[in-house]
Amino acid sequence: MSFHPKIDYREFHRSTRKMPYDDGKVFAYEPDNRARLEDIAKRYPPEGRKSAILPALYLVQRQLGYISLSSMQHVAEAIGCTAAEVEDVVSFYTMFYTRPMGKFVVQVCRTLPCALRGAERVTEELTTALGIQPNDTDSTGTFTLMEVECLGACDRAPLVMVNDSWHECLQPEDAKKLADDLRARGEDALTGCHHQSPDRAKG
């Protein structure tokens, strides 16, 4: 960000750098996750072992739910690179969480095609139904609400992703029901393409 006399520099400074989340615990892979990492690393040539960083972080997230300071150091050791290189990657990609998240991470797609079909209203209704703003987690740790960019299925707008699963064509008036159903039935409440019959190829 350049300096300009008319800019309130503090307001416009956009660095989102936060210190890595330190939960005070020492992270180590469970043995099967560690073995899985070595399996994955075989897909890349020896000089390309760093390619396994993304998979390694997914394994951390699967085990811990987020990426902690200690886990980054652990990944660095497992890969054979510096912790700074791991942090560099973690801070770039949106799918790595650097803090504990709710049990259900509800991600509303807000990009144009979804917005044209009511995504802004979906977010509004979810905000009311969950009692939280985007980027917040409720006090019980059940829900985190987020807005994300195009998920690559705009024909089924508005699209919502809950953890790794999808819910398609969510109408604003059904948002509250989805929240209730998630509480009651978990991810079974979702009706994304991966739960549907193959007959959804068109429209």
Point out which residues bind another protein (CB under 8 A): 1-2, 12, 14, 43-45, 47-48, 50-55, 57-58, 79, 81, 85, 88-89, 92-96, 110-113, 115-118, 120-121, 123-124, 133-135, 147-157, 161, 164-166, 192-194, 198-199, 201-203
> How big is the site for ligand FES, counted in residues (CB under 6 A)?
11
Sheet holding 143-148, edge to edge: 143-148, 104-109, 160-162, 165-167
Contact 139, 100 (CB under 8 A): no
Taking the complex as a whole, the smallest distance from the CB of residue 153 to ligand FES amounts, in Å, to 5
Q: How far is CA 49 from CA 42, 43, 84, 144, 155, in A?
A: 8, 9, 16, 34, 38
**Phi, psi of 68, rounded to the nearest 5 degrees:** -100, 170
Near ligand FES in 114-153, by CB under 6 A: 114, 150-153
* 21 DSSP 8-state letter: P
Taking the complex as a whole, the smallest distance from the CB of residue 10 to another protein amounts, in Å, to 14
Of 76, 157, 161, 179, the one binding ligand FES by CB under 6 A: 157
Contact 97, 66 (CB under 8 A): yes
Residue 47's binding partner among another protein, ligand FES, none (Cβ under 5 to 8 angstroms by kind) is: another protein
Residues that bind ligand FES (CB under 6 A): 109, 111, 113-114, 150-154, 157, 159
